[in-house]
A and B are shown apart, each in its own frame.
Chain A
Amino acid sequence: MQRASTMTAAGLVFRRDLTLAWRRWDEVAQPLIFYVVVTTLFPLATTPDLSQLRVISGGVVWVAALLASLLALESLFRSDVEDGTMEQWVLSGQPLGWLLLAKVASHWVLTGLPLVVMAPVVGTALGLPFDAWGTLVASLLLGTATLSVLGGIGAALTVGVRRGSVLLSLLVLPLAMPLLIFGSRAVGMAMDGDSPAGPLQLLAAIFFLTLSLGPLAMSAAIRISVES
């Protein structure tokens, strides 16, 4: 049998995950609902005054997106490791990093992207002005994508651990703090009328760095988890 090219294999993985998720619609919706619920907590906990909420709106949207993404990441590799698919991938001879990246990409499309789309809506509810929408979406696009890769590393390390979700968050959140700093600051600057180019460029740099080194760490982590 002819060995498929890496791109074909990765593409198949990507499509298969999307198809599987399509059948489990509610699982995809849950992080999104969590996201909206968490953002609702902040006005309830502080004040309904939009002018006060506006000050922290960028930060709140970002934190909620972080938490919602992390919640969904725990199960990223679980089912594939449990049913032996992952072992097949490790043995397949295809570069494992690409296959894992395809999985992360499909996961991002299903969880990260909806969060980004929802963000202006949720932000406006917190007083975020329309002018900042573009920066909010741009920063979250980069941020959630980076987080998916970082979370993928964490998920690969913690496959099969009891209550792995909490451990995963504990491991990934400190690494995600720079993203949070630059992302929410970009939104803040856009709200003040300054150019957010600086932090957005830093976010992009972190994204590309993570994209290049992330799959390496992920495949190392998966091998460790599967071979033990």
Chain B
Amino acid sequence: MDLQEFFRMGGYAGYVWTAYGLTAFVLLLNWLAARRCESQEQENARRRSRAE
């Protein structure tokens, strides 16, 4: 199918793209949160060792 048709999703564009968009958003949030979890603790550990 051509690009125009692809974005239209047979008339269901709103639904399909919202669903996929929401999925991407949730996965992104979890990606950021997991990364921050690790990096924040690494920063804390470094700060603690510097303080000694």
Query: Do A and B contact each other directly (Cβ–Cβ < 8 Å)?
Result: no
Interface, chain A (partner B; CB < 8 A): none
Q: Which residues of B contact A (CB under 8 A)?
A: none
